Amino acid sequence: MDLADIGVTGLATMGRNLARNLARHGYAVAVHNRTAGRTEELVAQFGGEGTFLPATDLKSFVASLKRPRRAIVMVKAGPGTDAVIDQLAELMEPGDMIVDGGNALFTDTRRREAALREKGIHFVGTGISGGEEGALHGPSIMPGGSRESYEALGPILEDIAAKVDGVPCATYVGPDGAGHFVKMVHNGIEYADMQLIAESYDLLRQALGATPAELAEIFREWNAGELESYLIEITAEVLAHVDAETGKPFVDVVLDQAEQKGTGRWTVQSALDLGVPVTGIAEAVFARSLSGHPEQRAAARALAGPAVSGVADRSFVEDVRQALYASKIVAYAQGFDQITAASQEFGWDIDRGAMATIWRGGCIIRARFLDRIRQAFDADPSLATLLVDRYFADALALAQDAWRRVVSTAASIGVPTPGFSSALAYYDALRRDRLPAALIQGQRDFFGAHTYRRVDREGAFHTDWSGDRAERPA
Ligand code: NBP
């Protein structure tokens, strides 16, 4: 019997398209789904695209794979993933590989990898971005796990991944949960990027009184410059779209409550644990949460606000473009800081330039700008922050006046721009010679004897605030 090069179990949107992508690249693909109907449907509809080996149960699925076996799990993240992995592990042998291509939480991936390593099975937690289109035509792929497993899997993953300038958007990320961690941060950055674009739209609409169709044109123009990206491109499409039923702009008939599946929230939770200020991502997650509280918003509608609107002229468009670019640089810099911190914490040794390289195509945050990030990390792999790379430092210097005008205009006309404002605050805080954290240290020592360090001497100190206010070494 002919055996499959690789298998996919879980044939909903993502798994089905990934299996088709593999088959289209000439791999014989074993396919399986808990509910057999999906497997039959795949083979009936797309069987002509390549070689599919359908299986009705996991035992025959595993039996149809070449050794060492490579099985990709594409099921809903959570308990379902555990159930499928456990069943596969029972059927597999040392040296075999289980690839989890779902959006698993990286700590779950670390746990699963450790458990399977005991059995000699390679567990490869893999981030896959690009949605259903990406899965079919070339996603960005972020595999973790052992280096050894990448030797067997890498060539296939690189084959089916998106390509930019001939370079595949897939590479080895690092051990155990590194792949899923990087995918999580990718999604967090996606949240921040979307929020910044949404703020640009809102501000221009309020300050200029521009229509969605006019704004679509502005985003189209922006997409021809340094902001060129998939998210700007689709923003123009969404803004230009007209609702067939009402004839109104689509964006005006959609409920203004943004959904979230959880990867943005995970990114912020992990950033809090790691002590990395990912303010852009956090503001984006919170902005979605705020939008989802209609009762509070209805109650607050009567609160006072400024009586001005339509205050800007056309030069404001360029100001907002600059503010968007500068805030975006900050959001990406913060995301890369989070990757750096986790890489150190978990000993992953992640190559940040390589991550920027595999995000250039296939994924949702693909953008021209990622090439600049790759160049920055290639030039200095130990870069303290992306903001100080020459290209980005110059871009921020060029943008900062406009950025400040945008934030102050937004505040004066009462349009919320948490993304722009917090990015600017982060930029200014990082630049500061002295931060008010010194005062906070004093407060902490006052009420809790938490001690402080001095600028002029080594060691920790405490002041006897309730007594003679003398300072003593702690
Ligand atoms: P879903 O996330 O909707 O999951 C549906 C699949 O999971 C079906 O094949 C279903 O089988 C299977 N499944 C479930 Br639910 N519980 C199971 C269990 N206990 N045992 C076995 N199978 C089980 O599918 P998707 O949207 O294709 O996404 C797959 C993965 O890829 C997810 O982790 C998702 O987060 C991730 N992802 C999705 C996207 C995207 O754009 N959709 C992008 C990137 C990553 P059934 O047919 O028998 O119900």
Ligand 1 pocket, residue 13 CB under 6 Å: yes
Given ligand 1 and candidates 34, 61, 186, which is best to mutate, with the most ligand atoms within 8 Å of its CB? 34
Average pLDDT over residues 128-134: 94
Ligand 1 contacts CB of residue 109 (under 6 A): no
Residue 309 pLDDT: 65
Catalytic residue from among 41, 66, 190, 214: 190
- Which entry of 183, 199, 283, 328 is annotated as an active-site residue? 183
Percent of all residues in the chain with a pLDDT value above 90, rounded to a whole number: 96
Average pLDDT over residues 395-408: 98
Per-position DSSP letters for 167-235, written without gaps between them:
EESB----STTHHHHHHHHHHHHHHHHHHHHHHHHHHHHHHH---HHHHHHHHHHHTTTTT-BHHHHHH
Closest-lying ligand 1 atom to the alpha carbon of residue 11? 9
Residue 326's pLDDT band, with cuts at 50, 70 and 90, is very high
Residues 44-70 have a mean pLDDT of 97
What separation in Å is there between the alpha carbon of 13 and the centre of ligand 1?
8
pLDDT band, very low/low/confident/very high, at 78 (cuts 50, 70, 90): confident
Mean of per-residue pLDDT scores for the chain: 96
The SS3 of residue 8 is strand
Confidence class for position 99, pLDDT limits 50, 70, 90: very high
Three-state DSSP state, 462: strand
Higher pLDDT, 313 or 348: 348
Q: What is the pTM of this model?
A: 0.96
- 127 neighbors 152 (Cβ within 8 angstroms): no
Does residue 75's CB lie within 6 angstroms of at least one atom of ligand 1?
yes
Catalytic site residue 345?
Answer: no
**Residue pLDDT, tens place only, 254-280:** 999 987 778 999 999 999 999 999 999
For residue 245, with 0-12 CB atoms within 10 Å meaning exposed, 13-18 middle and 19 or more buried, which class applies? Answer: exposed
Q: Is the per-residue pLDDT at 307 higher than 90?
A: no
Q: What percent of the chain has pLDDT over 70?
A: 99
Q: Quick check: 360 pLDDT over 90?
A: yes
Q: Which pLDDT value is given to residue 127?
A: 97
State how far the Cα of 106 lies from the Cα of 175, in Å rounded to an integer: 11
What's the average model confidence in pLDDT over 57-73?
A: 97
Output the pLDDT for position 7. 98
Tell me the mean pLDDT in the region 246-253. 98
Which of 13, 31, 56, 76 to mutate to test ligand 1, by most ligand atoms within 8 A of the CB atom? 76
Nearest-CA residue for ligand 1 atom 19 is 80
Q: Would you report the helix, strand and coil content of the chain in percent, each value rounded to 5?
A: 55, 10, 30
183 is catalytic: yes
Mean pLDDT to the nearest integer, 421-449:
98
Residue 442 has pLDDT above 70, yes or no: yes
Q: Does 310 have pLDDT greater than 70?
A: no
Mutate which of 35, 75, 141, 261 to test ligand 1's pocket (most atoms within 8 Å of Cβ)?
Answer: 75
